[in-house]
């Protein structure tokens, strides 16, 4: 097994058969011990966070598979906190795609002159560059095209997939009376046909979820979502 990348919350390895193995760690993004899904630093370490994040990721990726939505997912081993995936090439040096249902977080920080906190948003899609040094700047469709990161046709595919997957997660949470405020995805090109597919993870660490108006921490969300 060859180490490919050491991330903030996961390590990536290449398997001999060409697939990748993602190892989920107990590190969580945030600042000064407070969780923040949009943060670019590891803010805290929580015992069991890796396995919990993987369990929820497995849950969602299996639902997406049933719905024939393309992803990198092959299988998960919860005990080992590992997930086997198809290797992907990312757009440029990596993008984050955010789907918003309520105005909170960086949306509100940027557009607070016009938006009210918690205002409903209709699966609003935003793309940011994965660029820690520049605090993951938002990027427009035109800029993505002009800079050769994504064509306009690819952008349309990405946006449609994001809305579709965001709505799947939103509906799943709603079954447990949990409200999705926003969620962050990553996409890449997968397989011989370079199909655009969801990669990375779908865990509590990638979304803001609320129950009865109260924010639910990632570990709690994973527990609520997976309990029968």
**105 belongs to the binding site for ligand ATP (CB under 6 A):** no
Stretch that binds ligand ATP, among 2-10, 54-62, 110-118, 160-168 (CB under 6 A): 2-10
**94 belongs to the binding site for ligand ATP (CB under 6 A):** yes
Are 74 and 194 in contact by the 8 Å Cβ rule? The answer is: no
Site string for ligand ATP, 62-91 (x = CB under 6 A): ----------x------------xxxx-x-
- Of 91, 105, 87, 81, the C-alpha closest to 203 is 81
Are 51 and 222 in contact by the 8 Å Cβ rule? The answer is: no
DSSP string, 129-159: E--GGGT--EE-HHHHHHTTSS-HHHHHHHH
d(CA 211, CA 226): 15
Site string for ligand ATP, 157-186 (x = CB under 6 A): -----------------------------x
**7 belongs to the binding site for ligand ATP (CB under 6 A):** yes
Number of chain residues interacting with ligand ATP (CB under 6 A): 20
- Of 141, 66, 54, the C-alpha closest to 97 is 141
| Distance of closest approach, residue 150 Cβ to ligand ATP, in angstroms | 15
Which residues of the chain form contacts with ligand ATP (CB under 6 A)? 5, 7-10, 12, 20, 29, 72, 85-88, 90, 94, 130, 186, 188, 199-200
């Amino acid at each position: 097994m060859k180490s490919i990348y050491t991330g903030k919350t996961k390590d990536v390895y290449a398997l001999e058969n060409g697939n990748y193995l993602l190892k989920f760690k107990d590190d969580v993004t945030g600042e000064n011990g407070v969780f923040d899904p949009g943060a670019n630093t590891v803010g805290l370490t929580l015992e069991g966070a890796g396995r919990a994040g993987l369990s929820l990721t497995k849950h969602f990726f299996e639902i997406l598979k049933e719905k024939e939505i393309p992803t990198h997912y092959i299988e998960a081993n919860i005990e080992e906190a590992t997930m086997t995936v198809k290797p992907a090439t990312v757009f440029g040096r990596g993008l984050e795609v955010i789907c918003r249902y309520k105005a909170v977080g960086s949306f509100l920080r940027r557009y607070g002159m016009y938006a009210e906190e918690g205002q409903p948003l209709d699966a609003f899609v935003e793309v940011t560059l994965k660029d820690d040094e520049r605090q993951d700047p938002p990027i427009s469709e035109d800029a993505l095209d002009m800079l050769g990161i994504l064509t306009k046709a690819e952008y349309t595919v990405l946006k449609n997939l994001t809305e579709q997957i965001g709505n799947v997660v939103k509906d799943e949470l709603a079954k447990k009376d949990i409200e999705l405020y926003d969620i962050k995805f990553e996409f890449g090109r997968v397989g011989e046909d370079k199909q655009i597919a969801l990669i990375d993870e779908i865990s509590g660490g990638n979304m803001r979820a609320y129950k009865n108006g109260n924010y639910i921490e990632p570990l709690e969300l994973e527990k609520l979502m997976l309990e029968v």
